[in-house]
Amino acid sequence: MAEGSMTSASPRELEERLRDTRARLEGDVDLWVATSGSPGGVHLIPLSYLWDGTAFIISTPRASVTGRNLLADSRVRLSLGPTRDVVVVEGTAEPVDIADLGPKAGDAFATRTGFDPRELDEPYQYFLIRPRRIQAWREANELQGRDLMRDGHWLG
Amino acid sequence: MAEGSMTSASPRELEERLRDTRARLEGDVDLWVATSGSPGGVHLIPLSYLWDGTAFIISTPRASVTGRNLLADSRVRLSLGPTRDVVVVEGTAEPVDIADLGPKAGDAFATRTGFDPRELDEPYQYFLIRPRRIQAWREANELQGRDLMRDGHWLG
């Protein structure tokens, strides 16, 4: 944890963290995606995403390290926000074919992220990432009470 | 990659990226640490660090997921900066005992990060992370030329 000495504000209560976290999921454009599953070990890159209210949709070249990792091991960890105002997500990634995504979600993804994998020559793979656990904290005094979702269920 | 549509600025040349990246390594306090190696799969958390000019020093509870992962598999991926101005590091983590760290590095770490693992009751493990590869980019137009270090050697 980033245990800085500059713990100025009081820790947020559950309700405020839930509100801040939902606003971030809906409002942010990019997140960090950590994967493993390949012989190369762990991988970490930023990707743009669409939050559909219950899951994250990302898209990456099928041949990329992240694409290959997620096809080999669906477990993924995401982070949003700066290091002193983080949202960390544990989830599982399900590959979704472009044909199965549907035009509405495809359009929403393109609008949100600013790129449309359906129009690219390079084969892209969409993944639907369902969160199992979501945590949010700012500084060390917010480590307690950082769980906002457990086993796929919001705590509030 | 975060392939936003807002690619406004011209791509930076190697020299400028090297300068920006070194300034970030020296100036930032926190980074994201992605590890695997445990049965639980990939892990990702923010930690404070000290950059000593050639390696990152981090410290985390020995019993934490990150601590156990790095003791089982030394391969690690770090990121610094926001998702549209990233530095991504591939490296290997070597555990360092508190006795072997030396008082000077221990003091520098405490000053930098704002916490001193030597004073804590919980057993902490320091790790020295030597970068093998460093990349830096802002938007899609900087994906080309993003390698700044390969095989442990700066390209400039």
Please state, rounded to an integer, the average pLDDT across all residues of chain A: 93
Q: Which residue has the tokens 């190697």?
A: B14
pLDDT digits (tens, 9 = 90+) for A53-81: 999 999 999 999 999 999 999 999 999 99
| pLDDT above 50: residue B135 | yes
Among A28, A42, A115, pick the best mutation site for testing chain B contact (most B Cβ within 10 A): A42
DSSP labels, B38-106: ETTEEEEEEEE-EE-SS-EEEEEETTSHHHHHHHH--EEEEEES-TTSEEEEEEEEEEE-HHHH-HHHH
Confidence of residue B39 (pLDDT cuts 50, 70, 90): confident
Give the distance from residue B17's alpha carbon to the nearest chain A alpha carbon, in angstroms: 18
Q: Which two tokens stand for residue B45?
A: 């958390």
**pLDDT value of residue A7:** 56
**pLDDT value of residue A6:** 53
Residues from chain A contacting residue B41 (CB–CB below 8 Å):
36, 73, 75, 77
Contact A31 B3 (CB under 8 A): no
pLDDT digits (tens, 9 = 90+) for A23-56: 999 999 999 999 998 677 899 999 999 999 999 9
| pLDDT above 90: residue B114 | yes
Please state, rounded to an integer, the average pLDDT across all residues of chain B: 93
User: Which residues partner with B38 through β-bridges?
Assistant: B41
Residues from chain B contacting residue A44 (CB–CB below 8 Å):
32, 34, 44, 77-79, 88
Among A5, A35, A45, A143, pick the best mutation site for testing chain B contact (most B Cβ within 10 A): A45
pLDDT digits (tens, 9 = 90+) for A88-133: 999 999 999 988 999 999 999 999 999 999 999 999 999 999 999 9
**Closest CB to A30 among B47, B84, B88:** B84
Taking a contact as any Cβ pair under 8 Å apart, which residues of chain B between 54 and 113 contact chain A? 73, 75-79, 82-84, 86, 88, 113
**pLDDT value of residue B8:** 63
Q: How far apart (Å, rounded) are the C-alpha atoms in residues B111 and B104?
A: 11
Coil, helix or strand at residue A56: strand
A42 at interface of B, judged by CB pairs closer than 8 A: yes
Hey, how many other C-beta atoms are within 10 angstroms of the C-beta on A119? 8
DSSP labels, A97-154: -HHHH-HHHHHHHHHHHS--GGG-SS-EEEEEEEEEEEEEESSGGGSTT-EEEETTEE
Contact B46 A79 (CB under 8 A): yes
Ramachandran angles phi, psi of B13, nearest 5°: -75, 170
User: How many Cβ pairs closer than 8 A exist between chain A and B?
Assistant: 113
**Closest CB to A30 among B2, B43, B47:** B2
Q: How far apart (Å, rounded) are the C-alpha atoms in residues A100 and B65?
A: 36
Confidence of residue B6 (pLDDT cuts 50, 70, 90): low
Residues from chain B contacting residue A76 (CB–CB below 8 Å):
42
pTM: 0.94
**pLDDT value of residue B156:** 87
**pLDDT value of residue A115:** 94
Q: Which residues contact A122 (CB under 8 A, 6 or more apart)?
A: A61, A63
Hey, how many other C-beta atoms are within 10 angstroms of the C-beta on A69? 26
